[in-house]
Amino acid sequence: MAIRKIINESDETLRKISKPVVDFDDRLFELIEDMKDTLAKAEGAGLAAVQVGVLKRLFVMHAGKEERECINPSIIKQDGINKIKVEACLSVPGKCGYVERPEKVWVEYQDRTGKKIQKKFTGFEAKCFCHELDHLDGILYIDRATKMFKDRDEYAKEQGKQKKDNSKSDASKSKNTKSEK
């Protein structure tokens, strides 16, 4: 087990299309274990093989209770609009942005033994799955972002503004309710 180096957005490798995994062997297991360690150390939610410079169609994610290894993943069906707007990426350090993703995805992938698994993910796990799947096709979330924040401070400011707006409308709502009474 080892921590691998995560490449960043300036590296052209991130723009390449990853190839399907065909050998479910010790080398693959080692890669998966390294990716899990690397993800945990970076405190991220997901990590695709291409982010450690390996052009294979697999990613690991830890976006819910369980840690998952998704090999040769695909989305079969999707539905709704995810309530979580903000997104970030270990290969785009510091920044974050708004990306629209489905609320629910029905997916298929293989585990490390090659066994096919079908799952339905919702919320943050659905969002993470879509983000990681994009990596395998050379797409970064910054390509899809409707709004980008240069750092966490800028995002926090935006959040604060929204909260203020929300409480304003809440206040006017409660006022209305009162006057109705």
Provide the annotated active-site residues: 132
Among 28, 89, 96, 105, contact with Co ion (rule: CB under 5 A)? 89
Closest to Co ion by CB, 89 vs 96, is: 89
In terms of Cβ atoms closer than 10 Å to its own Cβ (0-12, 13-18, 19+), residue 51 is: buried
Candidates 3-11, 15-23, 86-94, 110-118: pick the segment binding Co ion (CB under 5 A): 86-94
Q: Is 88 helix (H, G, I), strand (E, B) or coil?
A: coil
CA 53 to CA 129: how far, in whole Å? 19
Q: Which residue has the tokens 């723009």?
A: 15
Residue 61 touching Co ion (CB under 5 A): no
User: Does 63 contact Co ion by CB under 5 A?
Assistant: no
Nearer to Co ion, 93 or 160 (CB): 93
CB of 154 to Co ion, least distance (A): 19
Cα-based angle 143, 159, 93 (whole degrees, multiple of 5): 40
Q: List the one residue out of 46, 45, 50, 44 whose CA is nearest residue 7.
A: 50
Please identify, among the stretches 32-40, 82-90, 118-126, 152-160, the one whose residues bind Co ion according to the rule CB under 5 A.
82-90
Residues that bind Co ion (CB under 5 A): 89
